[in-house]
A and B are shown apart, each in its own frame.
Chain A
Amino acid sequence: MLKMIGQRLMTTIPSIIGVIIVTFLLTRVLPGDTAAYFAGPAASPQAIAEIRGKLGLDQPLPVQFVSYVTALLKGDLGQSLTTGQPVTRDIAARLPASAELTLVGLLLAMAVALPLGVLAAVKQGSWVDHLCRIVATAGVSLPVFFTGLLLVYVFYFLLGWSPAPLGRLDVFASEPPGVTGFLLIDMLLARDLEGFRAAFSQLILPAVTLAIFSLAPITRMTRASMLAVLGADFVRTARASGLTNSKVIGTYAFRNAMLPVVTTLGMVFSFLLGANVLVEKVFAWPGIGSYAVEALIASDYAPIQGFVLTMAVMYVALNLMIDVLYGVIDPRVRLEG
């Protein structure tokens, strides 16, 4: 197993190098003058030149690249101009917020989508199957920011059930000491149940928004995969052996149907990290997505490069995890490496 992980890691190095080069070039090739933007309201040509010099933008591209990579090796992603802080610190502060939101969204989606998909497959053509189709279509055809705004409008603005969409915590709640960066966990560690409740209620709407968006692929994949497995010989054998229906579906069929579903989950997860960008805007979520968008609008190079790099590394790690998970679900995968 360790050998497999090692080998897989080796293959990721070229892709990371590729990502570094491409993002560096892209941010430079794109139009937009960082220095002019940050010189402020009454920018004189000298002020612009001064900023350009300070940012090293007056150097030739190869020189800029070398200094970028040198800094990168030291773990320095540069300074963000939009927040005025080191990018590494910004990302470290914001990544847990995005990850927590995405994970909760994904868990919610799974909690609904897996049973729905299985039921739809078992009772093919029944009302459950139709419901499954409607839910999937509706979820995937609504843009996330629209779902988000709609939920805010209904549950916060009209009904007043949900707290104000002001980010991760109510303004009057105090933050727990940061241990994991995941507020829910940190609140529990600090034994602050009131705080946990506050953080949890802030999280519900954005997480539901993400969950609605990701229902479709998971439900459809579960259904298709279950259908394929239910038609397989070993299921027929199991039924013929007189095993109960629940045992056949729960133990034999579901377990075997999970492999493609896990692949889909991996894809949906990285997909959600992207969809986050808009949800974070609507809910004022201090995550990495809204950070990247603001940097992009301001032609702020360092955070964009940092964001893309972080995402690339996460994507690689995620794929690695899925490969390992394959081995756990189906031991045959392990032999191939």
Chain B
Amino acid sequence: MTITRRTAIAAGLSLPFAARGGAAQAQAPSRSETLLLVQEYGPNSLDMQGIGSSQPVNGVALNCYDRLLRFKPVPIPGGGGNTIAMGELEGELAESWQLAPDGMSCTFKLRDATFHSGRKVTAKDVKWSLDRAVSIGGFATTQMNAGSLEKPEQFVVVDDKTLRIDFIRKDKMTLPNLAVTIPFVFDSELAIKNGGDDPWAKDYLKNNIAGSGAYKVESWKPGVETIYVRNDAWTCGKLPSLRRIIARDIASPSTRRALIERGDADISYGLPPKDFKDLADAGKVNVVGVPIPNGVWGCYLNTQVGPFKDVRLRQAVAWVMPYEKMLQASLFGRGVDMSGGPETPKVAWPQAFPYKTDAAKAKALVDAAGGGFSTTLLFDAGNATVAEPMSVLIKEALATIGINVEISKVPGANFRGEIQKKTNPMVLNRFAGWLDYPDYYLFWTMHGNNSIFNIAAYQNPALDKLVDEARFTADKAVYDKSVVEFIKLVNVEVPMVPIAQPTHDVAMQKSIGGYQFQPCREPDFRYLTKG
């Protein structure tokens, strides 16, 4: 047979179908030891302390690094796995810890743990890492400060296995704040060696893991996938049962839903509430929903500029909101109603405000304040699946009391800029604080320090005094009293109308066990089991 150009092309095209090569599949780990997670987007760095790290980087910090302490798992009421108790801590790198009799320092004894590099974890590494967290700036430093961890001098190396943290003031959030995903421990020698001129090795740690955690990053393709493998030498807890985790970034929620329904993905994060409701109703996969601690969907009313300077109008809005309808139409029931609470608040946050839908009361307040007007309601387009139906319902409800609302939807990047200006009359937003304390939430959203999340630009020295008192008191009675007082105050002043406490939902196959909710809301692979 003569080989012409045509036969050559034909042969080339048929080649792939001619033989079966099996070599590639042989060394791949089995499906039962591997977990496939699908999520909207993945980490943009491997260093949660670095500036500009995105939300999923918390997951990297959680699984690949160890902290001194971690939150103790407690069962989710209603089943499905575990959540955490903010007040109960257990040692991760710390074998034990001891508060000083005067309550002004805490001494940590380190476990016999090894970094991925093979070097032993020492108190020097812990100090370097905590120093870095309070010095590097940006979110890491802000979060450390929230627990009164502010200066490198606070961290003292006693010996190789002992570290002492000196307190600036008594702050009940200091210890819990050591268990969040920021103060994790780096292999300082490895980091410094590769850091070049930068004492904090920012570039190196952004692209490399230098930790002692339960997982290592095997490969990281930003925007595509992150693959984790188990660190078999992990000693800071029970060895995880999953050997390998593949986290794929899949932008389209419909695709993520199809994957979990067909059984191709093991866990799906971040679907719209409607999909979670449908999946839960269909019952083919498990949907675990934990009310987000310290998280509320709220309508912020600007107290400094615009019509809502008048407290009567803010109250009117709180009286006219169609709470139940919003919970059903925008969150599809995946949340906790925040209306119709008791007159005297409990020591808890979030909790239902005493307002409920009562158009007559609202109308009377608007009339007393001089009648109707037009205004705008702003929300982040990134939250549109929930915020859009919510804002339409608000527009509809406010129209009945003579307030004409124009809805303004802006993309995420612009949204931050807008709320920073603090000039928008009404803003719909969801805020959740990591540390589950009422004073912590109000410190961010209503305190006179005027953080970016004080969207209502609320200023009230009386509230500041109560919040500060609650933050730093060691006396439970004083704490309870201040919390009740400031919630009472907020009930009357309503810089924000709480709408619902959303649930953090995760869909997983029935074969997946050991789900662990964390305040950073990223998956904790260390407890998960399969099959």
Contact = CB atoms under 8 A, between A and B. Distances in A.
Given A38-B51, A194-B20, A291-B223, A298 B412 contact: yes
B223 A82 contact: yes
B417 A284 contact: no
18 contacts: A32-B417, A40-B51, A42-B146, A42-B451, A43-B452, A46-B137, A51-B138, A54-B51, A80-B222, A84-B222, A157-B258, A157-B262, A165-B255, A172-B34, A194-B20, A195-B24, A197-B16, A284-B248
A189 to B, nearest CB: 12
Interface in A218-272: none
B258 A299 contact: no
A188 B224 contact: no
A90 interface: yes
Interface of A: 31-34, 36-48, 50-51, 54, 80-85, 90, 93-94, 149, 152-153, 156-157, 160, 164-167, 171-174, 188, 191-197, 200, 281-284, 286, 290-291, 294, 297-299
A200 B16 contact: yes
B246 interface: yes
A317 to B, nearest CB: 25
B51 A47 contact: yes
Contact of A188 (B16, B55, B207): B16
B251 A284 contact: yes
Contact of B223 (A40, A50, A90, A282): A90
Nearest to B47: A84
Nearest to B29: A172
B382 interface: yes
Given A38-B51, A188-B15, A194 B21 contact: yes
Contact of B411 (A195, A282, A297): A297
B223 A286 contact: yes
Contact of B52 (A51, A93, A290): A51
Contacts of A192: 21, 23-24
B28 A174 contact: yes
B249 interface: yes
A84 B246 CA distance: 20
Contact of A173 (B24, B53, B254, B410): B24
A39 B412 contact: no
Nearest to A97: B224
Contacts of A197: 16-17
A179 to B, nearest CB: 16
Contacts of B251: 281, 284, 290, 294
A33 B248 contact: no
B420 interface: yes
Contacts of B167: none
B3 interface: no
Q: Is the interface of B mostly helix, strand, loop or mixed?
A: mixed
B417 A165 contact: no
Contact of A36 (B51, B206, B416): B416
A33 B255 contact: no
B52 A294 contact: no
Nearest to A54: B51
Nearest to B411: A297
Shortest 6 CB-CB contacts between residues of A and residues of B: A299-B413, A83-B222, A32-B413, A36-B416, A33-B417, A40-B139
B21 A167 contact: no
A32 B413 CA distance: 5
A46 B420 CA distance: 13
B420 A36 contact: yes
A281 B252 CA distance: 6
A41 to B, nearest CB: 7
B254 A149 contact: yes
Interface in B236-274: 246, 248-252, 254-255, 258-259, 261-262, 264-265
B249 A284 contact: yes
Contact of B139 (A36, A47, A166, A172): A47
A122 to B, nearest CB: 25
A42 to B, nearest CB: 5
A37 B413 contact: yes
Interface in B27-50: 27-28, 31, 34, 36, 38, 41, 43-45
A196 B16 contact: yes
B52 A286 contact: no
Contact of B413 (A33, A46, A84): A33
| Residue of B17, B28, B52, B412 ringed by the most chain A CB atoms within 10 A | B52
Nearest to B453: A42
B371 to A, nearest CB: 33
A188 B24 CA distance: 13
Given A200-B16, A284-B250, A43 B262 contact: no
Given A36-B416, A39-B138, A297-B382, A194 B22 contact: yes
Given A171-B36, A195-B24, A39 B139 contact: yes
Nearest to A40: B139
A31 B262 contact: no
A38 B52 contact: yes
Contact of B222 (A39, A85, A160, A299): A85
Given A40-B52, A43-B452, A297-B412, A164 B259 contact: yes
Contacts of A41: 55, 139
A34 B413 contact: yes
A45 B264 CA distance: 44
A40 B36 CA distance: 27
B25 interface: yes
